[in-house]
């Protein structure tokens, strides 16, 4: 017997017919003698509908009331899944965020889970009930509804799994696992049997949008083994003991699963960044703080940063990237601070892409970056900026060359599936 949290996304929950499919997958896990908690998203499109209502009601909406409105989507699907499981003959009941409760901080619309009271939940599991928990929602200390931000249901699932000491947290989504790269770009992309938490964090944050980044961080912190798999592969393809998804595990677990792993696990790309160049910034101590302090205060996430020596002595060009959605805000903010910073011109370019090669293996091997630069240069792809971490090398390139770069690197690191396997 295992204790399992299963999480289903909005596409899987879109309508009563699909919910029946989900219920069948859940029933199979429970019938195998497992204790099962299901965490559900709202029906696909429902959260957008509710968010739009809020915007229409009040463009500058109070996030506390926004949470009251948008949390209702998951309330509906959790009740419906419980009803559907009952129709299949299972004992099932829903547990809303305030009922467990799932305690969060008071930061409405972007709350974080603080703790989950799991006694009632565990007692329910031990009575043989399947527990259905709405994702995305919690309750603050002052007793108001909170939500965890878009994609927050992944985090809910991992948090519930940690709270009840689950053996595994299975995230069912509309892809069937984590791939070496985007299969829409590289036909020979391979599904990974396993990745480490750290690799998944890098892959997720640079564009492999399988899981909410925060949920991976939480899983790493709490040591919850996560598995990504598809709810659309047909019931028979998901036997309880041979699940075909991708496991997300610790380094140590990874060693056991895959002894002969590659240096590079995957190639990610991200077209959602924009480049900002500030020209002729005075090259003196504190100048850079004038740029990045205000951006940080405005919660604008700066990623790659490069400082070029300018044409004139004592001046420098500063290049960095921000999310495209924050570009206009960042630009306005920098114009405001023009005097403090002392730059000459702002040049912006959202026609860029970030390509990253990710792999825990590179910690202990040199030459990964060199291979990247050579492979791109051989195909005439110009690198505009570089950033690295222990398990990642990222480059900024022209957006038009994204697909070419991903394919070139996928081959260069030996990630292409062999024809037999494909």
**Residues present in the chain in total:** 422
Burial label for 150, CB within 10 Å (0-12, 13-18, 19+), is middle
Among 33, 59, 286, 414, which residue interacts with its own copies (rule: CB under 8 A)? 59
Nearest approach, Cβ of 57 to its own copies (angstroms)? 4
As a whole number of angstroms, the distance between CA 414 and CA 195 comes to 17
Q: The sheet that has 273-282: what strands, in order across it?
A: 305-309, 315-323, 273-282, 346-349
Q: For 103-116, give one letter per residue: b (16+ CB within 10 A) or e.
A: bbeeebbbbbbeeb
Q: Which of 22, 90, 96, 189 binds its own copies (CB under 8 A)?
A: 96
C-beta separation of 278 from 291 below 8 A:
yes
| Residue 122 half-sphere exposure toward CB, CA atoms < 13 A | 12
Q: Which of 55/311 has CB closer to its own copies?
A: 55
Which pair of tokens denotes residue 71? 């949390």
Q: Is 173 marked as binding a ligand?
A: yes
Give me the least distance between CB of 418 and its own copies, in Å please: 45
Rounded Cα distance, 89 and 21, in Å: 14
Q: Report how many residues bind its own copies under the rule CB under 8 A.
A: 41
Q: Which is nearer to its own copies, 118 or 246 (CB)?
A: 118
174 annotated ligand-binding residue? yes
The response to whether 8 counts as a known ligand-binding position is yes
Contact with its own copies (CB under 8 A): which of 39, 82, 116, 391? 82
Q: For the CB of residue 164, give the shortest distance to its own copies in the complex, in Å.
A: 19
Contact between 51 and its own copies by CB under 8 A: the answer reads no
3-state SS record for 167-195: CEEEEEECCCCCECCCCCCCCCCCECCEE
146 labelled binding-site residue: no
Binding mask 11-30 for its own copies (x = CB under 8 A): -----x--xx----------
C-alpha–C-alpha distance, residues 36 and 51, integer Å: 31
371 annotated among ligand-binding-site residues: no
> Which of 32, 79, 294, 361 forms a contact with its own copies (CB under 8 A)?
79
Q: Are 135 and 39 in contact (CB under 8 A)?
A: yes
Q: Which of 31, 58, 239, 351 binds its own copies (CB under 8 A)?
A: 58
Decide if residue 76 touches its own copies (CB under 8 A): yes
Dist. CA 395–CA 384, nearest whole Å: 7
Report the nearest approach of its own copies to the CB of residue 161 (Å): 22
Cβ proximity to its own copies, 94 vs 402, nearer residue: 94
> Which positions from 104 through 163 interact with its own copies, judged by CB under 8 A?
143-145
The answer to the question of residue 61 lying near its own copies (CB under 8 A) is yes
d(CA 409, CA 399): 16
Write down the number of H helices and E strands in the chain.
14, 20
Q: How far is the CB of 93 from its own copies (least distance, A)?
A: 7
Token digits of residue 179 = 């791939």
Query: CA 191, CA 183: separation in Å to the nearest integer?
Result: 9
Q: Residues 2, 11, 44, 86: which binds its own copies (CB under 8 A)?
A: 86
Question: 37 vs 304, which CB is nearer to its own copies?
Answer: 37
Please give the annotated binding residues for ATP, written as ranges.
7-10, 173-174, 179, 184, 209-210
Please give the annotated binding residues, written as ranges.
7-10, 47, 74, 173-174, 179, 184, 209-210
Please give the annotated binding residues for substrate, written as ranges.
47, 74
Interface residues with its own copies (CB under 8 A)? 16, 19-20, 50, 53-54, 56-62, 64-69, 71-73, 75-76, 78-84, 86-87, 93-94, 96, 98-99, 143-145
């Amino acid at each position: 017997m295992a204790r399992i949290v299963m999480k289903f996304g909005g596409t899987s929950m879109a309508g009563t017919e699909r919910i029946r499919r989900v219920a069948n997958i859940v029933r199979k896990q429970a019938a195998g003698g497992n204790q099962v908690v299901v965490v559900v998203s709202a029906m696909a499109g429902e959260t957008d509908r509710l968010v739009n209502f809020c915007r229409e009601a009040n463009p500058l909406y109070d996030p506390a009331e926004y949470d009251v409105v948008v949390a209702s989507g998951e309330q509906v699907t959790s009740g419906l899944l419980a009803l559907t499981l009952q129709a299949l003959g299972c004992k099932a009941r829903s547990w809303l965020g305030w009922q467990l409760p799932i305690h969060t901080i008071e930061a409405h619309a972007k709350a974080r889970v603080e703790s989950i009271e799991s006694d009632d939940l565990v007692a329910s599991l031990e009575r043989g009930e399947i527990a259905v928990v709405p994702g995305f929602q919690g309750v603050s200390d002052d007793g108001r509804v909170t939500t965890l931000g878009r994609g927050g249901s992944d985090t809910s699932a991992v948090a519930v799994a940690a709270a009840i000491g689950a053996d595994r947290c299975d995230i069912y989504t509309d892809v069937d696992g984590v791939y070496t790269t985007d299969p829409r770009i590289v036909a020979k992309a391979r599904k990974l049997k396993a990745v480490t938490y750290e690799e998944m964090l890098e892959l997720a944050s640079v564009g492999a949008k399988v899981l909410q980044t925060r949920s991976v961080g939480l899983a790493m912190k709490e040591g919850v083994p996560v598995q990504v798999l598809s709810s659309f592969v047909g019931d028979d393809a998901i036997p309880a003991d041979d699940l075909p998804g991708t496991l997300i595990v610790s380094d140590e677990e990874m060693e056991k699963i895959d002894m002969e792993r590659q240096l590079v696990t995957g190639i990610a790309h991200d077209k959602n960044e924009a480049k900002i160049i500030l020209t002729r910034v005075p090259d003196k101590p504190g100048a850079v703080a004038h740029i990045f302090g205000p951006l940080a205060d405005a919660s604008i996430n700066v990623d790659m940063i490069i400082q070029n020596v300018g044409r004139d002595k004592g001046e420098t060009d500063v290049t960095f990237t921000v999310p495209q959605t924050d570009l206009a805000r960042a630009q306005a903010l920098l114009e405001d601070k023009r005097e403090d910073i002392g730059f000459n011109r702002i040049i912006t370019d959202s026609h860029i892409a970030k390509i990253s090669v990710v792999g825990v293996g590179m910690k202990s091997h040199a030459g990964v970056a060199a291979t990247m630069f050579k492979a791109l240069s051989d195909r005439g792809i110009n690198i505009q900026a570089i950033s690295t971490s222990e398990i990642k090398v990222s480059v900024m390139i022209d957006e038009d060359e994204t697909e070419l770069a991903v394919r070139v690197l996928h081959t260069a690191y030996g990630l292409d599936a062999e024809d037999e396997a494909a």
